[in-house]
Amino acid sequence: MPAYENDAALFSVSQKAILKDKKGRILMMEKAGKGHWDLPGGKLDEGEDMIEGIAREILEETNLEKVTIGPIIYAGRRSFEEEGKPERVMIFYACESDQKFDKIKLSDEHNEWRLMTADDVKNEKKYEINPVVRAALTQAFKNK
């Protein structure tokens, strides 16, 4: 078994919320300075409860308070090209909100938001989306 310097993490955990509106569209946000689209969510803090962590990330990134965290509907692994960065395990939750999406106030992590359809998600030329996130969205659109 190889030795790991400084007991560095082999992977980190990131959680994402798949928030659908009443028409079945999914909330996506464009990352500031990166030009790609992503779901609300982020890395789990050390020792943080998973459900509390995803709820915290949703609130921080969208300002939506009334969100129901549903079951995990997809999990995948994202590799990073940057040397020294661990792989990330990504967990995707089906979520719902009683609040209207027009109440969204983005954090400075994102430029804009939009509700995407299954056709939008398939349009790789128009919307740059990480392959793991795209796979989770494809699964979410199958779960109607």
Residue 78 pLDDT greater than 70, yes or no? yes
What's the whole-number mean pLDDT along residues 50-62?
95
pLDDT score for 12 = 79
Q: How many CB atoms lie within 10 A of CB 23?
A: 7
pLDDT score for 74 = 96
Side chain identity at 30, as an amino acid letter?
E
Rg (CA), the chain: 15
Report residue 9's pLDDT band, with 50, 70 and 90 as the boundaries: low
Domain-wise residue ranges, the chain: 13-142
Angle at 21 between CA 16 and CA 26, to 5 degrees: 40
Comparison of pLDDT for 58 and 7, the residue scoring more: 58
Write the class of the CATH domain 13-142.
alpha beta
3-state SS of the chain?
Answer: CCCCHHHCCCEEEEEEEEEECCCCCEEEEEECCCCCEECCEEECCCCCCHHHHHHHHHHHHHCCCCEEEEEEEEEEEECCCCCCCCEEEEEEEEEEECCCHHHCCCCCCEEEEEEECHHHHHCCCCCCECHHHHHHHHHHHHCC
Q: Are strands 26-31 and 37-38 parallel, antiparallel or unpaired?
A: antiparallel
Q: Who's near 22: CB < 8 A, 6+ residues apart?
A: none
Residue 81 pLDDT greater than 70, yes or no? no
pLDDT score for 1 = 45
**Distance in angstroms (rounded) separating the CA atoms of residues 32 and 12:** 22
